[in-house]
Structure 1
Amino acid sequence: MAKLFGTDPTFYPSARSAMEAPPEKLAYVALLKPDAIGVVDLDPASNAYGQLINKLELPEGLEDELHHFGWNACSSALCPTAFHPQLERRYLIVPGIRSSRVYIVDTKPDPRNPKIVHTIEPEEIKRRTGYSRLHTVHCGPEGIFISALGAAAGDGGPGGILLLDHFNFNVLGAWEIDRGTQQYAYDFWWHIAHDVTVTSEWAPPALFENGLNLEALLDRQYGHKLHFFDSRTRSHIAEIDFGDQHQMVLELRPAHDPRKTYGFASVVIDVTNLASSIWVWHRSFEGEWKAQKVIEIPAKPADPDKLPPALKGVGAVPPLVTDMVLSLDDKFLYVSCWGTGELRQYDVSDPFNPSLTGVVKIGGIIDPVPHPSGSQITGGPQMVELSRDGRRVYFSNSLYSTWDDQFYPDGIHGAMIKVDVNPKGGITIDEKFLLQLKNVRAHQIRLDGGDSSTDTFCYP
């Protein structure tokens, strides 16, 4: 059949069709100290497999601190409510969490040699949106969505979401019309077929930019809620309070099947026992939004003499769950425990009754576990990404510069590690794949053509 539109071949109507796509060949990795976008060869047939083959260095001296970045367009362009088949997955939208500056990076014509083609200065972001400290990028049907953790002036809130134009990258403005009780911001996602947007809470910049404020944590001043918005009216419709002992509700991973109205939210720490937890939010038959804890990962007792100053007083290592990814078939959830040095795989086919199906250990705050190749790893599993077919996990080891320095005071050298997945459950570190970066840290990972935390699908 003749092709009616020149639609980007990396746009997929459903998660299942994305799982059938060709394997990834490249990864783009946010590097910091100094800031850069690294290009990593992921083609096993290549002589450069597992190596950093290029590095797009950002201007020096601007203290951007690259953090989370994403694509300008993805499979949401096929959604019937905002059909944009003329878009293409071409540009990386790269914000600085400290600077609030945004770089538009073109990955064509040579994906191995990306270039900066446009820069949005922080003054424009602040003037047009009222926001600062840019965090998460998602390609949505109406434009490019970016979460912001602070207000334009000062170190407080409210944070929220802003939009860039799909076609010219103009700053359109703040997304919310009525934010209701929402003040703190962090991640956001949506149930796109149900016109519902979900947001989570970290803290105002004053409580995270200079490291974790332990006094404020014990005083329960960090975020502990989910917020729900009507995506059409952009108005707050509900909140769920996890309880203020559950501090820092961070990553959100909704089911990929658009018929489903549930998702997973991670909590960094319970101040009563130092555990991390995973919660499921869902819409009840009556239409009410609810949430329940389905996974708790306990802290590990430790000799205070082995602990960094930030943890000596508690005598234990908290898991510090700081990222997770859900496979495109909604079967496996991968959870990174940056403190204890674990990557965990859970079978979440029944989201309300997960089962632990695999664990690999590497790095960690105390007694760090080396890579299977014998190389020592600093830090622990942090930003985690999964291939479309669900067979390969990639993760990095740096969280955020000031937090790195608190919890790993001996220093973190960037690393990217690959994990092989058994489709029936179980994970194993690939001993032949290890990217180590001396005196450079590594954070967000994006795969060419998309990955398991990039796209929104509008068809079951």
Structure 2
Amino acid sequence: MNLRPDPTFHPTAQLAMQAPVENYAFTVMLSPDGEQSDGIAVVDVNPKSDSYGQIVHKVIVPHKGDEFHHFGWNACSSSLSPLTGHAFLERRYLIVPGIRSSRIYIIDVKDPLKAKIHKTIEPEEVFAKTGYSRPHTIHCGPEGIYVSTLGGGGEDGTDGPPGIFIMDCETFEIIGRYEMDRGEQDKHYDFWWNLPQDYMVSSEWGLPPQFEGGIVAEDLLSNKYGHKIHFWDLRARKNIQTIDLGENHQMALEIRPAHDPAKAYGFCGVVVDTTNLQGSIFTWWRDDDGKWQARKTITIDPRPEDADNLPELLKGFGAVPPLVTDIDLSLDDKYLYVACWGLGEMHQYDVSDPMNPVLAGKVEVGGIARGAAHPNGKPFAYGPQMVEISRDGKRVYWTNSLYSTWDDQFYPDDEGGQMVMANNDENGFHLDKDFYVDFPEGLRSHQIRLEGGDCSTDSFCYPNV
């Protein structure tokens, strides 16, 4: 235990933006067919380094078939909350779940170049202590590590609804379920919170039979995927309000609240509108009466395309849907980055006015029936997917795999894992031609974490000045 708070913990988002820049990124490597073990790649992101843009260390796990997906820290700036009993933790461990196996690895990255497995939690322990399966999103809270799941009990994960469970942030023991009253919530995906204002927001994807074998077209066209967001009393662990975004707004995924906890609004990305194939962003906020509201503030149109150029799944539509699969918000709450995995585009929106976003920049790379190459001339498989922003907002990193079976449906002729970076500077928003990571053969890439924290990791306890 440290005798003073970890220097990567910051009271405000404003102060976090002034922190030293990252030297390393930690990125998921996943084997889509289970022929190899998954792992975490340590990528050198220091442009002054001789190994810039290279994988400089790997942690390969002993099991196969985990399918790494999302992961997060054991501790972050939320440790500075007045509610915490853990102010002197280190941001030292990555909590890495296998979305298929329900196994959880704790990886010690205190020395990134010597990162190693610290502990493994077997799926039987997850099932026995929570009744949940398919662990997904990790958030470090003041009192422990929160883990969202995509499956309930039983072999197919439909024996009861999925939810959230909590782990001890020092021993990594599973403590138990989060929910005291889940209300309407019967599916799960992402979640995040505002600590001082004591609320949490969660979203919905689908149940395991709706995603593990690939997208189920019949379920999508009959609007059976998730389309609600849920608001919770964070400490009471109670669902206080549910907003249905409309059943045509299928797959309400990433939740991104404003980083300044004095603000009571945020964003949610919706993969597809089944009436017109648009992707969209909803802004949610709390009104003067204390009720939560949500309104669609961004729409992204599909691109017409000859059916002969489309995968089987899309031939009947004659168009490429945007497929908004990830969003991320810069620490100054100014720019929202929107990954359009289908189009092969990363959009940058100025959301200084969260109710009236303005498209500020766009980068094209990959994409269905387009396959736009990187500026260095090398290929980029699939499209822009998991996005992560440096704390100072000057570098935007992303990878390309969505989920193994979905990759194969939407991009049947593509293969490979890539990670790229775009600069946000005086020249606008543009891809860095010198940063391009090609992952080992047979491995794809998904979520990214940055050394010292990033824009989808930390929650802050004090308002900006």
Normalised to the residue count of structure 1, the TM-score between the two structures is 0.97
Q: Secondary structure at the match of 2:220?
A: helix
CA contact 1:102–1:121 (8 Å) conserved in 2:
yes
Structure 1 residues 298-377: aligned runs within 5 Å: 298-377=301-380
2:19 aligned residue: 21
| Mapped pair 1:118 → 2:119 | yes
Correspondence for 1:31: 29
Pairwise CA distance, 1:387: 0.2
CA displacement 1:309-360 (0-9 Å, x = unmatched):
1111111111111111100000000010000000000000000000000000
| Residue pair 1:246, 1:267 contacting (<8 A) in 2 also | yes
**Where do residues 196-345 of structure 1 align in structure 2 (5 Å cutoff)?**
196-345=199-348
- Decide whether the 8 Å contact of 1:162 with 1:173 is kept in 2: yes
1: CA distance, partners of 2:62 / 2:216: 30
Deviation at 1:422, TM superposition (A): 2.2
CA deviations 1:188-239 (Å, max 9, x no partner) are 0012111111100001101000000001100110000001111111011000
SS at match of 1:80: coil
Q: Assess if the C-alpha contact under 8 Å between 2:190 and 2:203 holds in 1.
A: yes
2:91 equivalent in structure 1: 89
Q: For the residues of structure 2 that align with 1:426 and 1:248, how far apart are their CA atoms?
A: 31
**Which one of 424, 433, 436 corresponds to residue 435 of structure 2?**
433
**For this pair of structures, how many residues does the alignment match?**
454
Question: Which runs of 4 or more aligned residues in structure 1 lie more than 3 Å from their structure 2 counterparts after TM superposition?
Answer: none
Equivalence for 1:132: 133
User: Identical aligned pairs, as a percentage?
Assistant: 56
| Unpaired segments ≥5 residues, structure 2 | none
C-alpha distance in 2 between matches for 1:117 and 1:73: 15
Q: Is the 8 A contact 1:36 1:57 kept in 2?
A: yes
For 2:431, what is the secondary structure of its paired residue?
Answer: strand
Q: Indicate the RMSD between aligned Cα atoms, in angstroms.
A: 1.1
Matched, 1:392 2:388: no
Equivalent position to 2:456, from 440, 448, 453 = 453
Aligned match of 1:151: 152
C-alpha separation in 1, matches of 2:347 and 2:17: 21
In structure 2, what residue type is equivalent to 1:111? P
The separation in 2 between residues aligned to 1:59 and 1:317, in whole angstroms, is 39
Unaligned segments of structure 1, at least 5 residues: none
User: Does the 8 Å contact 1:359/1:426 carry over to 2?
Assistant: no
1:252-299 CA-partner distances (Å, limit 9, x unpaired): 000000011100000000000011100011000010000000000011
Other-structure match for 2:67: 65
Assess if the C-alpha contact under 8 Å between 1:5 and 1:85 holds in 2: no
SS in 2 for 1:281: strand
Under a length normalisation based on structure 2, what TM-score does the superposition of the two structures give?
0.96
Distance in 1 between residues matched to 2:276 and 2:5, nearest whole Å: 51
